[in-house]
């Protein structure tokens, strides 16, 4: 899980308004491949300078953890937060990015901490302990996701691997789009059973748009920064061609349960077998496995076309 996943609560959705089987995973080696130090990384307002290649990295971002292992920097990672559940070989801990204990992070003697959504106060706790913090916030689009991968390659001394990963992801995305039949339909994307959803302008929504699907949440009068709370009645009235469930793991939602909701058996997506349960974690991150998510959407379109 990560900051996108926590959009299942109203409070986290407000924060969001202010979220590799396809690409491969590698623990890699700590060797530098195309990187040089010192190096400056991060945004202009939060740039840091790394004087040497970091060899004790703590990741407080599930997406960054996936990125690091995918570019071959896994052996440099000494600890990841409790929500970083992929890959299985990552050094999992009970560190909590939501309720940060700076001293617990410092106990791992990191020479770099990577985070996605700490508050300025939490970042300050770490910097006061002389720990460099690289901020990699939730990407707004694929280009930002690619840029973060390249930046992590620069920060860890794995420039060429990062570039190769981005090239591979772009190629696979292009292939998926080219091989998916053109359609023109709508979808409902469920973040939780209380009907929080996404508009087409969000990171996830843009993936659907690449495959010519439009979110029914675009029609709501209150877009709530891209993550509005809809209602069962709104979904029924919109009658989406597809229903995608990003709450299958957290909340046990599936096609059978959706079909028993009052009135939902009449939805064309239900009667047409177009209710697709997603892996919550893959659906909530912007790392290498975003290709898997796009492939799942494409497979649904190919396997269950809207008549």
Q: Model confidence over 115-136: pLDDT tens digits?
A: 998 999 999 999 999 999 999 9
- The answer to whether 178 and 163 are in contact (CB under 8 A) is no
Cα first-last separation, the chain:
35
The domain defined by 5-12+20-173 folds into: Rossmann fold (3.40.50)
pTM of the model: 0.88
Strands lying side by side in the sheet with 185-190: 213-215, 185-190, 242-245, 275-277
Give residue 44's pLDDT. Answer: 66
Q: Check the CA dihedral 281-65-297-241 and report its sign.
A: positive
Query: How many of the other CB atoms lie within 10 Å of CB of 180?
Result: 19
Longest CA span, the chain: 62
Q: What is the mean pLDDT of the chain?
A: 89
- Burial tier of 42 (Cβ tally within 10 Å: 0-12, 13-18, 19+): middle
pLDDT tens-digit series, residues 24-53? 333 333 444 567 899 999 986 789 999 999
Nearest to 177 by CA among 144, 211, 140, 213: 211
CATH 3.40.50.1980 maps onto the chain at 5-12+20-173, 181-303
Query: Residue 119, SS3?
Result: coil
- Cα angle 142, 46, 207 (rounded to 5 degrees) comes to 10
Over residues 55-65, the mean pLDDT reads: 98
Q: What is the pLDDT of residue 1?
A: 39
Taking CA atoms, 7 is separated from 16, 36, 95, 295, in Å, by 7, 38, 20, 23
CATH number for the 181-303 domain, one of 1.10.150.130, 1.10.3720.10, 3.40.50.1980, 3.30.565.10? 3.40.50.1980
What distance in Å separates the CA atoms of residue 180 and residue 177, rounded to the nearest whole number?
5
Pair 276, 296: CB distance under 8 Å: yes
Among 283, 94, 86, smallest CA distance to 203 is for 283
Over residues 169-179, mean pLDDT: 98
Which of the four pLDDT bands, split at 50, 70 and 90, describes residue 198? very high
CB atoms within 10 A of CB 88: 7
Measured distance CA(197)–CA(229) in Å, rounded: 6
Q: What does the alpha-carbon distance between residue 46 and residue 135 come to, in Å, rounded to a whole number?
A: 7
Q: What is the pLDDT of residues 269-302, one digit of tens each?
A: 999 999 999 999 999 999 999 999 999 999 999 9
């Amino acid at each position: 899980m990560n900051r996108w996943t926590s959009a299942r609560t109203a409070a986290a959705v407000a924060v969001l308004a202010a979220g590799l089987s396809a690409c491969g995973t590698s623990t890699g080696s700590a060797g530098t491949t195309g990187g040089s130090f010192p190096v400056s990384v991060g945004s202009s307002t939060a740039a840091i300078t790394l004087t040497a290649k970091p060899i004790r990295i703590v990741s407080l971002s599930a997406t960054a953890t996936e990125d690091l292992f995918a570019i071959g920097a896994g052996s440099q990672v000494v600890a990841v937060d409790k929500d970083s559940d992929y890959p299985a070989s990552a050094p999992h801990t009970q560190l909590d990015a939501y309720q940060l204990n700076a001293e617990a992070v410092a106990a791992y003697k990191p020479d770099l901490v990577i985070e996605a959504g700490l508050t300025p106060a939490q970042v300050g706790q770490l910097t006061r302990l002389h720990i460099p913090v690289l901020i990699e916030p939730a990407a707004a689009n694929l280009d930002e996701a690619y840029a973060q991968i390249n930046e992590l390659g620069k920060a860890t001394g794995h420039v060429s691997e990062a570039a190769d990963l981005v090239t591979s992801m772009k190629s696979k995305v292009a292939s998926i789009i080219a091989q998916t039949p053109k359609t023109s339909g709508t979808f409902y994307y469920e973040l939780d059973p209380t009907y929080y959803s996404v508009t087409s302008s969000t990171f996830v929504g843009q993936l659907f748009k690449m495959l010519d699907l439009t979110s029914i949440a675009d029609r709501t009068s209150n877009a709530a920064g891209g993550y509005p709370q809809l209602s069962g009645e709104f979904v029924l009235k919109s009658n989406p061609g597809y229903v995608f469930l990003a709450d299958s793991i957290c909340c046990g939602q599936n096609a059978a349960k959706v079909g028993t909701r009052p009135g939902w058996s009449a939805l064309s997506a239900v009667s047409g077998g177009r209710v697709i349960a997603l892996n919550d974690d893959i659906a909530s991150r912007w790392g290498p496995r975003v290709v898997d998510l796009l492939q799942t959407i494409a497979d649904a379109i190919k396997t269950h076309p809207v008549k």
